[in-house]
Chain A
Amino acid sequence: MELTLALAIGVLTGSGVWLVLRPRTYQLVIGLSLLSYAVNLFILSMGRLRGAAAPVLGADGNWNPADYADPLPQALVLTAIVIGFATTALLLVVLLVARGLTRSDHVDGRESR
């Protein structure tokens, strides 16, 4: 499982980076989204992997941290997801406006070569 997730993170990062280096604004948006998936998974993995141990406390009174997956990275990822959503939206709108003003969907507002 660890290996799978590590590879997944790697592939997502790779595709994201590739797109982020492309010249079209839309590629940028997709790339950053992929990257934020990768980063979210990365953050989650920093709490190590636990199946079937959701940090939702059972009824019984004694709660042993060892029985639950690390809740902190989950909280961090939640924040990251929200912020990621916000910034993706902003970037999208900015590139729309940019295209409206520059007539081009090149990240530099003009065809470079």
Chain B
Amino acid sequence: MAWSQHLIIVPILLPMIAGAALLLIDETSHALKALVSLASTILLLVAGMVLMRMAADVPDGSEALSFSYAVANWPAPFAIVLVLDRLSALMLVLTAILGLAALTFSLARWHRAGPHFHSLFQFLLMGLGGAFLTGDLFNLFVFFEVTLAASYGLLLHGSGVFRVRSGLHYISINLAASLLFLVGVSLIYGVTGTLNMADLADRLPGLADDDRVLFQAGAAILGIAFLVKAAMWPLGFWLTPAYMAAAAPVGAIFVILTKVGVYVLLRLTLLLFGSPAGELTGFGGVALLWGGIATIVFATAGVLASQALGRLAGYSVLISAGTLLAAVGMGDASVVSGALFYLVSSTLSTAALFLLIELVERAREPGADLLAVTMEAYGEEGEESEEREDEEVGVVMPGALAVLGVAFGCIALLLAGMPPLSGFVAKFAMLTGMLNLDGMGDPSEIPGRTWLLVALVILSGLAALIAMMRTGIRTFWAPLQPVLPRVLVVEVAPILVLIGLCLAMTVGAGTIVSYTDATARSLHDPASYIRGVLGGSAPGQAPP
């Protein structure tokens, strides 16, 4: 077995070992802990890159498009297999990037706010890695739990009323969802006799009618569990309070959590209910589409109604979740490709926002949020007594504030989907995909719900712009002598890097879109996935 094959286990094993080792290191030696944690995360990123290259190097038309790794060396479908393909590789790299950014940020102060931060952080990465790699339904549950458990710990990191209260809700709801997960998975096992996703997809067409009904019930219940994680309306109210309560770096890494739900839904719907699924083709798509739409509507309202930046950020997460769900619900390759681009872009930008918020809060005078709105309401007769009304000389912006301002502006553009950053390309890619399902020049009629979705995607962007502008003006422009925030380089650097990545995504959009295109195509070819897992045919072979 080639060493490169073993690389597939690294995204799970590395953080696990790091996390365990961190438990053995004494509480007081923060530096060492930080070092270990940082090293592990960097290595994780490297491994992710290599895996991505592996996955990307598989020629498009080849028989199997996924590498499978049989843990404990038992043959699939009996063993638990890890499956690497373009999608999982993409998610791994994204996770590593986010992790590195959040971790770096936390080194400023957060990692000392409570015991075992680094261990929990590593375990979270482990859980995410497992969730993205595993090809086994129950193993997926286990890694969901690992992720959730770590997220509970991180959410409560630093304690405090707000965290604990929202943590209580977060935990309760996710516990209930986990139970549903179990019910769904076991029901599916009871009907099909397998837990391996590929095997499952393989067995579905041969299902008897009664069994199919039960399977559908199981799949639907399982879907509910995922939708809770993906925070679809009306199952996602827990998200905003929890995320805004979390410490900045935690909030940043949490951005990927909702994407796990979306990832699984994308993976499973296309694998199980793709074209070959016979009776089951397209199962649940409509629900996802309308649920996503509802989510966008609700979250858009939320974004506009938010006074606190944290809430705004939370609702932005919801918007992106809703958009992705709707895209998954549409399910066409062109849409999915755009959605994947959007997933990456929105994840990076929202994470950056969560990090930025804390720094910005340091630069605001209290109550600025409320003012931002009331002032707008009665903006004309805003009493300007103290302001240097007719002074026609620009004010010098302090360096730190200027940097934050620029970052804030960039993130606003990203959320609004305005050029020049990747948010625009992402939305454009998605929308053009929705309007031209079979590529440009596709003359087919466009159904009303697609129009609705297009409109919502654009309007949600506008809402984000308005909300961000409101806060931004209030924060960076209004104050006469702005509060000078104390900001460390390790805090700003990750934010700028994330934004820089978004810029890079705009410039290199061609490359990325071709990657996501290939990913979408492979997702729409379940057979290749199944072959990769069950057929034992190594990726890269030309079809016979």
CB within 8 Å of B: which residues of A?
20, 25, 28, 32, 35-36, 39, 42-43, 45-48, 72-73, 76, 79-80, 83, 86-87, 90-91, 94-95, 97-98, 101-102, 107-109
- CB of B183 within 8 A of CB of A90, answer no
Which one of A35, A73, A87, A108 has the greatest number of beta carbons of chain B within 10 Å?
A: A87
- CB of B186 within 8 A of CB of A42, answer yes
Chain B 165-195 per-residue mask, 1 if CB under 8 angstroms from chain A, else 0: 1011101100110110011011101100001
Contacts of A72 in B (CB 8 A): 189, 195
Task: Give the complex CA separation of A91 and B138 in angstroms.
Answer: 23
- CB of B182 within 8 A of CB of A101, answer no
Contacts of B149 in A (CB 8 A): 86-87, 90
Contacts of B356 in A (CB 8 A): none
- A73's partner among B152, B165, B189 (CB-CB below 8 A) is B189
- A94's partner among B138, B164, B179, B190 (CB-CB below 8 A) is B164
Task: Give the complex CA separation of A101 and B176 in angstroms.
Answer: 24
- CB of A36 within 8 A of CB of B190, answer no
22 CB-based A-B contacts, threshold 8 Å: A32-B172, A32-B176, A35-B176, A42-B183, A42-B187, A46-B190, A48-B190, A73-B190, A76-B185, A76-B189, A79-B138, A79-B142, A83-B142, A83-B178, A87-B171, A91-B168, A94-B156, A94-B164, A94-B168, A98-B164, A101-B160, A107-B172
- CB of B142 within 8 A of CB of A107, answer no
Contacts of B159 in A (CB 8 A): 97
Indicate if B211 sits at the interface (CB-CB under 8 A). no
Tell me the minimal C-beta distance from A38 to chain B in angstroms: 8
- B161's partner among A46, A91, A101 (CB-CB below 8 A) is A101
- CB of A36 within 8 A of CB of B164, answer no
Task: Give the complex CA separation of A39 and B172 in angstroms.
Answer: 16
Contacts of A109 in B (CB 8 A): 161, 165, 168
By DSSP majority rule, is chain A's interface helix, strand, loop, or mixed? helix
- B186's partner among A25, A73, A86, A98 (CB-CB below 8 A) is A73
Tell me the minimal C-beta distance from A77 to chain B in angstroms: 9
Query: How many residues of B are in contact with the other chain, CB < 8 A?
Result: 28
Contact A94-B171, Cβ < 8 Å, known A42-B186, A73-B189:
yes
Task: Give the complex CA separation of A94 and B242 in angstroms.
Answer: 14
Indicate if B361 sits at the interface (CB-CB under 8 A). no
Query: Nearest CB to that of B78 among chain A residues?
Result: A72
- CB of B189 within 8 A of CB of A101, answer no
Task: Give the complex CA separation of A73 and B187 in angstroms.
Answer: 11
Indicate if B145 sits at the interface (CB-CB under 8 A). yes
Contacts of A94 in B (CB 8 A): 152, 156, 164, 167-168, 171
Contact A39-B187, Cβ < 8 Å, known A87-B175, A94-B171:
no
Contacts of A86 in B (CB 8 A): 149
Chain B 335-350 per-residue mask, 1 if CB under 8 angstroms from chain A, else 0: 0000000000000000
Contacts of B171 in A (CB 8 A): 87, 90-91, 94
Tell me the minimal C-beta distance from A98 to chain B in angstroms: 5
